[in-house]
Amino acid sequence: MSETSEQVPWWHSGVVYQVYPRSFADSDGDGVGDLGGVIDHLDHLERLGVDAVWLSPVYASPMVDMGYDISDYHAIAPEFGDLDQMDRLIEQAHARGIRIVMDLVVNHTSDQHPWFVESRSSTDNPKRDWYWWRRPREGGAPTPEPTTWQSFFSGPAWTLDDTTGEYYLHLFAPEQPDLNWENPEVRAAVHAMMRWWLDRGVDGFRMDVINMVSKRVVDGALQDGPPDALDGGVASQSLNGPKVHDYLAEMRREVFEGRLTAFGETPVTIGETPVTTVADGLLYTDPRRGELDMIFTFEHVDLDGGPGGKWDLQPVPLPRLKTTLAAWQEGLEGVGWNSLYWSNHDQPRVVSRYGDDSPEHRVASATALATVLHLHRGTAFVYQGEEIGMANSPWSGVDDFRDLESVNHFHQAVAAGADPEQVMVALRRKSRDNARTPVAWDASPHAGFTTGEPWLPVNPDHREVNVAAQEDDPASVLAHYRRVVALRHEEPVVAHGDFTLLLPDHEQLWAFTRHHDGRTLTVVANCSGSPVDPVAAGVPLADDGEVVLDNEGGSAAPTAVLGPWAARVVRT
Ligand code: TEU
């Protein structure tokens, strides 16, 4: 994007809503959400005011990883619908001014994808080199596998295939073999597939683990990690690898250059990039480099994992959370671009994680968190159900979970001697299934999600927390999300203003200013259950400011004491 050839892109002031189709709405009663369900609820998204929908994968898939294991990039999984319905969704979303962003999963395919079926069939198959095949390690130590790498879903990242006696690489489940991007034929096939979807009318891509496509290769060999690395070296050897920037620049040239969507815009590119620093973020998102429009940082969602990783729970003091996000604001300023998110299909519900989901504080903490996040600079994302304050579910045991990451972790940890109850404590807090319980549309037994049996039980709190109950309630979480989205569209300071964190060490207040073109927004939220006087704490608020957004019913003076989880945006 250059300032001269294109105007300010929509996503500078835009909001993207993530739909996880399996859990959004079921239109045919089989208990699984589908494209018909998305079409049926476009009114909800239009009223929320979002600019785009990111659709988690709907492609043909054995669903080992719920669609992130794709067996045909050109077909829709039957439980989700078909290509005609996909076309209808694109058309009807466009008619409402809503873009459709497809999930692009090309670090790996399903093991059922014809490419892999061919690749595994013999060592001299023309597609053999489309994946990472290696002979067992000579001498078998320290591992029989070719490298020490551990998969993100527990266990080694290599599986031995009996057909040829060689191992293949999978950073995720064994049913998700990694594509070999070193092979130009693989990249060309990916590019062609992306152009096919753009031709069909989609408006961009969210690119799954796109920073994992380049593995570190030395003299043709993949390398072990340092002996003490808990992940066996996956992160150091296969994330943000040496060729990833070349691959992305090539993709931009091959797929996006000269392309315009139905909105007359360049398709948007959003990279999912775990374990990425601000320095990496600058490389990926500096428009002069021609790689991605924005990436998802993981730093603020990795804070509650300790040295032992994601399941090693540790508390997150407010100063760590706000300074982590502020570092990205400052680091990318004027060069790159942020994505702002609290939740997605891989993360627990934010109101349970960084807010307070007790009946007393749920609405206030959900709206306070929305206010602070959306008032940062970047493209804001809302994950389905977040806009009504959906919380984590009360899981009773491991049998309740459907997500392979949760189930595998439980069995591996218990086999290694952990106390099952302790493992459940972490799973209740962090399992991805927290995000995947069906959207609560109303108070009926299956929450209006399905007329059948839901594939994952609805959260029992749906009797109180649901869309219907909030639809016309100005004090609801939903009404607040509509206001936040509208403010981002209407107030240029939100999109363009610079960012200054105030009181970085304050343990209750999250405060910052945004400044642009002679105007200032001062944002302050009390992230605690007890009142705080923001002026006494040092937040520069004055009575002549105008409160442009709050979660206190619109009546508080700019300088008033903030009640539990009260949030306020003041314009001067
Ligand atoms: O996730 C990538 C990722 O690294 C993590 O978020 C992962 O889901 C896990 O929680 C690590 O502990 C993406 C997708 O968003 C996820 O749903 C897929 O399972 C994964 O890639 C593989 O495609």
Q: What is the pLDDT of residues 540-558, one digit of tens each?
A: 999 999 999 999 998 899 9
- pLDDT at position 141 is 93
Give the pLDDT band (50/70/90) at residue 187: very high
Ligand 1 within 6 A of 103 CB?
Answer: no
E strand or H helix at 339 = strand 339-340
The pLDDT value given to residue 296: 98
Per-residue pLDDT at 5 exceeds 60:
no
Q: Could you give the percent of the chain with pLDDT greater than 90?
A: 98
More confident residue, 2 or 454: 454
Question: How far is the centre of ligand 1, averaged over its atoms, from the C-alpha of 460 (Å)?
Answer: 26
pLDDT digits (tens, 9 = 90+) for 323-379: 999 999 999 999 999 999 999 999 999 999 999 999 999 999 999 999 999 999 999
The whole-number average pLDDT for the span 121-131 is 98
What are the Cα distances from residue 36, in Å, to 33, 87, 454, 516? 8, 11, 16, 42
CA distance 535 to 524: 10
> Would you call 208 a catalytic residue per the annotation?
yes
* Average pLDDT in the chain: 97
Residue 308 tokens, joined: 């032992």
**What is the percent of the chain where pLDDT is above 70?**
99
The structure's pTM equals: 0.97
pLDDT-based confidence at residue 207 (cuts at 50, 70, 90)? very high
Ligand 1 contact, 328 CB (< 6 A): no
Residue 2 has pLDDT above 60, yes or no: no
The residue with greater pLDDT, 231 or 4, is 231
Q: Does residue 306 carry a pLDDT above 60?
A: yes
In ligand 1, the atom with minimum distance to the C-alpha of 344 is: 15
State if residue 280 touches ligand 1 by the CB under 6 angstroms criterion. Answer: no
- Closest to 498 in 3D by CA, of 297, 372, 287, 331: 331
pLDDT at position 555: 87
Residue minimizing CA distance to atom 8 of ligand 1 = 346
Q: Which of 341, 346, 347, 402 to mutate to test the pocket of ligand 1 (most atoms within 8 A of CB)?
A: 346
Task: Give the closest residue to 371 by CA, choosing from 566, 193, 234.
Answer: 566
pLDDT score of 6:
53
The whole-number average pLDDT for the span 497-513 is 98
Question: Is ligand 1 within 6 A of the CB of residue 68?
Answer: yes
| In the block, residue with structure tokens 């400044």 | 515
- Given a contact cutoff of 8 angstroms between Cβ atoms, the answer to whether 541 and 535 are in contact is yes
Q: What's residue 7's pLDDT?
A: 80
pLDDT of 272 > 60? The answer is yes
